[in-house]
Amino acid sequence: MNGKLSPALFRRRLLAWFDKHGRKDLPWQRSRNPYRIWVSEIMLQQTQVSTVIPYYNRFLKRFANVKQLADAPIDEVLHHWTGLGYYARARNLHKAAKLIRDQHHGRFPKSLDALQALPGIGRSTAGAILAFAYSQRHPILDGNVKRVLTRLHAVDRWPGERETEKSLWEIAERYTPAQRVGDYTQAIMDLGATVCRRGQPRCELCPMTSHCVAYAEGDPARYPIAKQRKPLPDKQATMLLIRRDRHEVLLQRRPPTGIWGGLWSFPERPGNDINDLATWAREKLGLSIRITQALPVIPHTFSHFRLHIQPVTAELVGEPPVIMELPDSVWYKLEHPDSRGLAAPVQRLLQQMRKAQ
């Protein structure tokens, strides 16, 4: 290893690498509009660039500015997010847009504190927005940057620990330049995403090898150190796919918080016991149904548990109720679906039902 890596040397190498290899034509890089940058930053949390691009383009086409987003119904926002996952991001985006409309006269805040006061915007996201939109000097510390810094300095502790995170912020602060801060911010994200990758870092392409402690140790993928994890607990749920006149299926809106909050899903009972489902439907939904089939179980992993979904198909029997009395319920037309946010397994099951028509 060659001596100490000074902040000036780090920046110089990183920016020289960025000028040659960095990404400069992503859709959100074509403007310095803070709204567009904000939407991209939120979408890019936990999601890769290639997945985000089509979602971003569709979202911006429908919600071109913060006012259009604030004025839109949440269902439509969730609909445009369907498939991206982590739906709290969409709900927070919508809440924050309303706050900007109502408390900031529709103008995007320009300070770190004001941005961080909005739902869904942490210190790193706020720093990135201000660096890209207004060239303000703020460090960022997203997953990519954490990976680069923990490897560069061989940080031997889990970066989520309070003290470790604090020292990573200090390193990030030291490295962040006053000049070309937008390019620097993009550069360090790009280095993490394309070279210092999670599984297989491509050290042979990296401008930092001569100063990287993890590289010198010979096993850079060891960093960042993982948290000691307990195995995820398993939970079971039964989803009832009730058809009316073959072409419609009952969907209910989930409560605003919790898993798939605010999205539309099938009526659901905890557990995987499929006995007495018809009685349950009569008592809970006020519907007479005939159970037709139990479909194969669908596993779905959340960050804190694994859900095993038992889908069961059923048909409405007797006179179908003309008006659905239950709140937040709808007979969803399989062939002519309207715009509403759907959880990924629900979307898959609806697709299966369409094919089986």
Which positions are catalytic? Answer: 41
257: tokens are 């918080």
Q: Does 220 bind ligand SF4 (CB under 6 A)?
A: yes
Which CB, 127 or 220, lies closer to ligand SF4?
220
| 224 near ligand SF4 (CB under 6 A) | no
Considering the rule CB under 6 A, would residue 195 count as an interface residue with ligand SF4?
Answer: yes
Around 15, how many Cα atoms within 13 Å sit in the side-chain half-sphere? 16
Q: Which stretch binds ligand SF4 (CB under 6 A): 78-86, 204-212, 234-242, 305-313?
A: 204-212
Is 215 near ligand SF4 (CB under 6 A)? yes
The answer to whether 201 contacts ligand SF4 (rule: CB under 6 A) is yes
- Report the nearest approach of ligand SF4 to the CB of residue 11 (Å): 14
Which CB atom, from 68 or from 209, has the smaller least distance to ligand SF4? 209
For residue 272, state whether it binds ligand SF4 (rule: CB under 6 A). no
Instruction: Kindly tell me which of 10 and 56 has the beta carbon lying closer to ligand SF4.
Output: 10
Span near ligand SF4 by CB under 6 A; candidates 100-108, 129-137, 212-220, 242-250: 212-220
Contact flag: residue 151 with ligand SF4 (CB under 6 A):
yes
Contact by Cβ (8 Å): 118, 96? yes
CA-CA distance, 131 to 190, in Å (whole number)? 15
Q: Does 154 bind ligand SF4 (CB under 6 A)?
A: no
Shortest CB 163 distance to ligand SF4, Å: 22
On whether the CB atoms of residues 130 and 203 are closer than 8 A, the answer is no
Q: Is 212 near ligand SF4 (CB under 6 A)?
A: yes
- Considering the rule CB under 6 A, would residue 203 count as an interface residue with ligand SF4? yes
**Minimum distance between the CB of residue 204 and ligand SF4, rounded to whole angstroms?**
9
- Using the rule CB under 6 A, is 187 a contact of ligand SF4? no
Find the binder of ligand SF4 among 5, 39, 77, 214 (CB under 6 A).
214
Nearest distance, CB of residue 202 and ligand SF4, angstroms: 6
Q: Which of 93, 148, 155, 289 binds ligand SF4 (CB under 6 A)?
A: 148
Report the residue from 42, 172, 196, 312 that binds ligand SF4 according to the rule CB under 6 A.
Answer: 196
Nearest to 94 by CA among 124, 62, 64, 66: 66
**CA torsion, points 80, 85, 89, 95, in degrees to nearest 10?**
40
Residue type, 326: L
Q: Which stretch binds ligand SF4 (CB under 6 A): 132-140, 207-215, 281-289, 323-331?
A: 207-215
Assess 208 for contact with ligand SF4 (CB under 6 A).
yes
Closer to ligand SF4 by CB, 82 or 164: give it.
164
The 3-state secondary structure of the chain reads CCCCCCHHHHHHHHHHHHHHHCCCCCHHHHCCCHHHHHHHHHHHCCCCHHHHHHHHHHHHHHCCCHHHHHHCCHHHHHHHHCCCCCCHHHHHHHHHHHHHHHHCCCCCCCCHHHHHCCCCCCHHHHHHHHHHHHCCCCCCCCHHHHHHHHHHCCCCCCCCCHHHHHHHHHHHHHHCCCCCHHHHHHHHHHHHHHHCCCCCCCHHHCCCHHHCHHHHHCCHHHCCCCCCCCCCCEEEEEEEEEEECCCEEEEEECCCCCCCCCCEECCEEECCCCCCHHHHHHHHHCCCEEEEEECCCEEEECCCCEEEEEEEEEEECCCCCCCCCCCCEEEEECCCCCCCCECHHHHHHHHHHHHCC
Q: Looking at the chain, how many residues does it have?
A: 357
Give yes or no for residue 120 binding ligand SF4 (CB under 6 A): no
- Is position 152 an interface residue for ligand SF4 (rule: CB under 6 A)? yes
- Least distance CB 194 / ligand SF4 (angstroms): 10
Residues in touch with ligand SF4 (CB under 6 A): 148, 151-152, 195-196, 201, 203, 206, 208-209, 212, 214-215, 220
